[in-house]
């Protein structure tokens, strides 16, 4: 009888997230939403809002694994999507008007991906935790900018160029300029914030990226 019970337990599927991961996800998603609602997580620019809302996603991914990172990234993307419906920047305003599904893809998919990418970068580096976290945060932030603008360009770059009466190459140049202007400062800030937090968690005995 005991063997049968143990066998049934062994066959039960594991939960997608355990209690600790759910707790961390909820906390970081809450921080993300707080930063978004208060405006502290956005830096308004001419064409789009620069953001630090990706930082909780990176921290969650490194500290608690890619599932947590992906979930927090999804919440970040969902919140950003709702924001575009309320008060979109110029480029995302066009995406909302052109195809709301495209807007959702642009807002959500890259943010889920960075929740996985940060973990992969961190886990494949072999050096001090502080350095690994800094590199993972910087590279992931740059990739976040590239993925976000790249997805936007692929989906609405051509119709946006037509609507504005400029060439597609002109739109590409605008996006490249935004990537350089926003992506690099955001990456530096991300590294400065994420690295000491992850190092402190590691020193406290937190098991990183399980």
- Domain layout of the chain by residue ranges: 16-203
Distances (CA, A) of 210 to 63, 105, 109, 124, 138: 8, 29, 23, 13, 21
How many residues does the structure list for the chain?
Answer: 210
The per-residue pLDDT for 124 is: 93
The per-residue pLDDT for 180 is: 86
User: Are 121 and 139 within 8 A, CB to CB?
Assistant: yes
| Cα 129 to Cα 66: distance, rounded to the nearest angstrom | 17
**3-state helix/strand/coil string of 79-126:** HHHHHHHHCCCHHHHHHHHHCHHHHHHHHHHHHHHHHHHHHHHHHCCC
The per-residue pLDDT for 4 is: 45
Give the list of residues 6+ apart from residue 128 with CB closer than 8 angstroms, or none: none
- At 75-100, the pLDDT tens digits run 999 988 988 888 777 778 888 989 99
What CATH code would you report for 16-203?
1.10.1760.20
The per-residue pLDDT for 179 is: 86
- At 117-173, the pLDDT tens digits run 999 999 999 999 999 999 999 999 999 999 999 999 999 999 999 988 899 999 999
pTM, entire model: 0.84
């Amino acid at each position: 009888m005991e063997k049968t019970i143990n066998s049934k337990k062994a066959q039960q599927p594991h939960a997608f997230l355990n209690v600790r991961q759910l707790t961390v996800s909820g906390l970081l998603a809450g921080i993300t939403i707080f930063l978004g609602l208060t405006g502290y997580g956005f830096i308004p620019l001419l064409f789009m809002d620069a953001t630090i809302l990706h930082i909780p996603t990176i921290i969650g991914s490194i500290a608690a694994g890619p599932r947590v990172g992906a979930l927090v990234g999804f919440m970040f993307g969902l919140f950003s999507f709702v924001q575009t419906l309320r008060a979109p920047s110029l480029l995302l305003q066009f995406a909302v008007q052109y195809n709301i599904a495209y807007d959702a893809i642009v807002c959500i998919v890259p943010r889920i991906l960075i929740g996985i990418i940060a973990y992969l970068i961190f886990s494949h580096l072999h050096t001090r935790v502080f350095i690994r976290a800094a590199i993972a945060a910087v590279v992931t932030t740059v990739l976040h900018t590239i993925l976000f603008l790249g997805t936007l360009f692929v989906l609405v770059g051509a119709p946006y160029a037509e609507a504005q009466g400029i060439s597609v190459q002109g739109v590409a140049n605008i996006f490249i300029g935004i990537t350089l202007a926003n992506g690099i400062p955001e990456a530096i800030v991300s590294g400065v914030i994420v690295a000491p937090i992850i190092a402190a968690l590691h020193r406290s005995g937190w098991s990183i990226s399980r």
